[in-house]
Amino acid sequence: MNTVLNVKDLCKTYITNKRQNNVLKNVNFKVNEGEMVAIMGPSGSGKSTLLYTVSGMDRMTAGEVEFCGKNIEKLNDNDLAKLRLDDMGFIFQQMYMLKNLTVLDNIILPAVKSTKTKESRAEITERALKLMKKLGIEDIANNDINEVSGGQLQRACICRSMINNPAVIFADEPTGALNRTSSDEVMEEISKLNREGTTIMLVTHDAKVAAKCSRVLFIVDGNIKGEYNVDVNATLRDRERALNNWLMEMGF
């Protein structure tokens, strides 16, 4: 199985008011192609910082991150931005979209800006509409973003994250701003993408969300303190129960 993300001795330090804050301390892990990995831990443990650093949204202080064989620390800002645009997808808790564009135009924007393919705008639009139909939101294509529900908007964000056929989707609390029904619906779509072969790394505080992943990394004070392999053949309820027991053992 191919390794798409290889993290070695990753450190991230911030200097605030002349004080050094070591947010990540010698973090090591791998993500293989087709995996769905959850990052869990207490508030302030470094979960989001880890996600932002391994995806190149934030520069590391020390260590190495190989993304599909490329050492992202050795890339200049332009090449790193191109890598994020072409080969990574992003889903956030807050559904960032441009207010002056329709839902469809927001979805196709990364593909229009990318040089990864030579598709025409019409071909990109056709692909986007197929993605929207797949996620059950094709009827809101021409809506403004303030005319749709939170669940619909997050599914549109999933479509946008997929438009350039990324090697990995990074998701930071993708259900955090949704009610339980919308959360379940969005996680089902994310899980479906994973079952179809998309590699996903997500940050969550919700064991119900993490139980749908294949592996859970537990981070405390910038260190990975434990790793849990989810029994994907068990029922979802049994997975949640087993994961919650393990999280209690880890002090969560």
- Which letter, b or e, does each residue of 141-153 get, where b requires 16 or more Cβ atoms within 10 Å of its Cβ? bebebeebeebbb
pLDDT value, residue 213: 96
Task: Give the integer Cα–Cα distance in Å for 65 and 202.
Answer: 17
Count how many domains the chain has. Answer: 1
Is the pLDDT at 137 greater than 90? The verdict is yes
Could you tell me the pTM of the whole model? 0.94
Q: Tell me the per-residue pLDDT of 8-39, one tens digit each, with 9 for 90 and over.
A: 999 999 888 878 888 999 999 999 999 999 99
Closest CA to 38 of 26, 27, 25, 47: 47
> Range of 182's domain?
3-249
Q: Tell me the per-residue pLDDT of 145-195, one tens digit each, with 9 for 90 and over.
A: 999 999 999 999 999 999 999 999 999 999 888 888 888 888 998 999 999
Q: Specify the CATH number for the domain of residue 245.
A: 3.40.50.300
Q: Is residue 90 very low, low, confident or very high in pLDDT (cuts 50, 70, 90)?
A: very high
